[in-house]
Structure 1
Amino acid sequence: MMRGWFLPVAVLLGFIFLYAPIISLVVFSFNDSRLVTVWGGFSTRWYGALMNDRQIIGAAWVSLKVAFFSATLATIIGTLGAFVLTRFSRFTGRLLLTGMITAPLVMPEVITGLSLLLLFISMELSLGWPAGRGMTTVIIAHTTFCAAFVAVIAQSRLRSMDESLEEAARDLGAGPVRVFFDVTLPVITPALVSGWLLAFTLSLDDLVIASFVTGPGASTLPMVIFSKVRLGVSPDVNALATIIIGFVFVAVLAAGWLMRKQMSKGL
């Protein structure tokens, strides 16, 4: 009897714990009151105020550009690393490559940010590039730790893939490059889409590493929000968070639709 109601109740409590704060944030983004904890009636005034806030709009645009380029570069690098580790069993430096891919997953972000800052300073002194800290250094830093997450996802999909498909393509005369683009890549595309979305989210959400490697004029959205929250949460921040939640929700639905479409094809 107890087992019959315990699981549904536990699941319900778990969902409430996870999503009640998000729902309350969305609801209070339509609050007419300036106080975020006191309901003053339904209003969309804070969305209009958000559109006129140059600081937040500029930071959001910077974060979106950084997240897009970082996720794209991380997907390319992570996919190549995962392919090497799964398709080449023995080669010199395999253990080192495995460690380099795993290290960002377990390294504290403070250590990662500090080490990247020291690296950029050394590169600027010796090579003259990058000149100062800005969007370029943030993209490089985010690509560094996001590639590890993409590599793990791609490696898992490559290990579960039926390698007879690649062997059949090679038997028919296709070269390694063509086998990768015509056979392997279409099969692992859903995993790469998931990895790209994860990398995009991690880059968009990062605060610690970006604080180390950014400079004037390249403040990301989390940095601006954090500076505002320290002085008290304003309703326009709730409106911004609601818009981001909406974009994430649509992206997750699109990724799920793509994965179901690929699975329906028998891949």
Structure 2
Amino acid sequence: MAARVRRLSRFNIVSLTLGLVFLYLPIVILVVFSFNASRLVTVWGGWSLRWYRELFNDSAMIEAAWMSLRVAATSASIATLLGTLAAVALSRGEGFKGRTLFSGMLYAPLVMPEVITGLSLLLLFVAINAERGFWTVTIAHTTLTMCFVAVVVQSRLGSLDKSLEEAAMDLGCSPPRAFLAVTRPLIVPAIVAGWMLAFTLSLDDLVIASFTTGPGAATLPIRIYSEVRLGVKPEINAICTLVIALIAVVIIVASLVAKLSSVKGESAAPL
């Protein structure tokens, strides 16, 4: 029986168009006005790269952007490793004692307000007399993003057939080798998606970073927020446009890696 092709109604098209406009029109306006020659961000003065040149001469803004990128990459990598291990423990260890407590502690940052998380981490760093800077922000962002990685990877593990690992072990593989040879290639897309989500959340965070950072270690959101309080400068449009471009490149690369890994995993899986 031939499948019916459902056509979009006029109402659905209008709703979809309005939704896309609502989501992406502000971003388009920001990108366009980053090339504005006028000093006033609301008055169009022609096309120019003036504010990009001004941005690259602003050492404080560039340093904050580099700080955010380093923190995001480091915390996302650590969170991906720990979150994947936690997801494997929850998916493959249904019977271990304390599973409910471990799961609740792991997923607590999902529902806990960021103000409480940031304040609790600040009190911890003060109690152990840790110098606040790059590593304190990285630890805080790892704490925040690890649970998101665990959710993504655990959902992927839950949809896999455990008999594949059991078959590998029947053929002589140890449990770790069976996991690495059979399961890991199948969950690589989820791991990549988790890393990308953790990277984006870290790059975007303002509240937790403001609690855990120190002098000379301001991230880009903190720097932008301090600048916006005195008025929106065209340089902010320029740096935001570059961040949007960076995120777009990360999404494209991650999608390609996930797709290639998925194809490789499917070809390696037994029929």
Q: TM-score, normalised by structure 2?
A: 0.93
Structure 1, residues 217-250: CA drift from partner, whole Å, max 9, x if none?
1100000000001111111111111111111111
Aligned residue for 1:44? Answer: 49
Aligned residue for 1:30? Answer: 35
- Following TM superposition, by how much is the alpha carbon of 1:263 offset from its aligned partner in structure 2, in angstroms? 3.8
Aligned pairs for 1:248-259 (under 5 A) are 248-259=247-258
Aligned residue for 2:231? Answer: 232
- Take 1:254 and 1:188, find their aligned partners in 2: how far apart are those partners? 17
- Following TM superposition, by how much is the alpha carbon of 1:147 offset from its aligned partner in structure 2, in angstroms? 0.2
Amino acid at match of 2:223: V
Which SS does the other structure have where 2:9 is aligned? helix
- Take 2:225 and 2:57, find their aligned partners in 1: how far apart are those partners? 19
Aligned pairs for 1:136-155 (under 5 A) are 136-155=135-154
| Contact persistence 2:35–2:238 (CA under 8 A) | yes
- Take 1:219 and 1:101, find their aligned partners in 2: how far apart are those partners? 28
- Following TM superposition, by how much is the alpha carbon of 1:261 offset from its aligned partner in structure 2, in angstroms? 2.6
Aligned pairs for 1:47-126 (under 5 A) are 47-124=52-129
Select between 64-73 and 179-188 the one with higher mean Cα deviation: 179-188
Q: 1:266 to 1:92 in 2, by over 3 A?
A: closer
Aligned residue for 2:4? Answer: none
Question: Identity across aligned pairs (percent)?
Answer: 59
- Take 1:6 and 1:19, find their aligned partners in 2: how far apart are those partners? 20
Name structure 2 gaps, 5 residues minimum. 1-7, 267-271
Identify the match of residue 13 of structure 1 among 4, 14, 18.
18
Amino acid at match of 1:50: L
Structure 1, residues 130-157: CA drift from partner, whole Å, max 9, x if none?
3x21111101100001000000000000
Select between 160-169 and 97-106 the one with higher mean Cα deviation: 160-169
- Following TM superposition, by how much is the alpha carbon of 1:175 offset from its aligned partner in structure 2, in angstroms? 1.2
Which SS does the other structure have where 2:128 is aligned? helix
- Take 1:50 and 1:266, find their aligned partners in 2: how far apart are those partners? 44
Select between 155-164 and 174-183 the one with higher mean Cα deviation: 174-183
1:190 aligns with 2:189: yes
- Take 1:248 and 1:13, find their aligned partners in 2: how far apart are those partners? 24
Structure 1, residues 142-180: CA drift from partner, whole Å, max 9, x if none?
000100000000000000112222112111111122122
Amino acid at match of 2:214: G
Structure 1, residues 167-211: CA drift from partner, whole Å, max 9, x if none?
121111111221222222111011110100100010011000011
Amino acid at match of 2:203: L
- Following TM superposition, by how much is the alpha carbon of 1:256 offset from its aligned partner in structure 2, in angstroms? 2.0
- Following TM superposition, by how much is the alpha carbon of 1:257 offset from its aligned partner in structure 2, in angstroms? 2.0
- Following TM superposition, by how much is the alpha carbon of 1:265 offset from its aligned partner in structure 2, in angstroms? 4.3
Aligned residue for 2:5? Answer: none
Aligned residue for 1:209? Answer: 208
Q: TM-score, normalised by structure 1?
A: 0.94
Which SS does the other structure have where 2:127 is aligned? helix
Select between 107-116 and 163-172 the one with higher mean Cα deviation: 163-172
Amino acid at match of 2:204: D
- Take 2:224 and 2:204, find their aligned partners in 1: how far apart are those partners? 11
Name structure 1 gaps, 5 residues minimum. 125-129
Aligned pairs for 1:146-165 (under 5 A) are 146-165=145-164
| Contact persistence 2:189–2:262 (CA under 8 A) | no
- Take 2:127 and 2:259, find their aligned partners in 1: how far apart are those partners? 47
Amino acid at match of 2:15: A
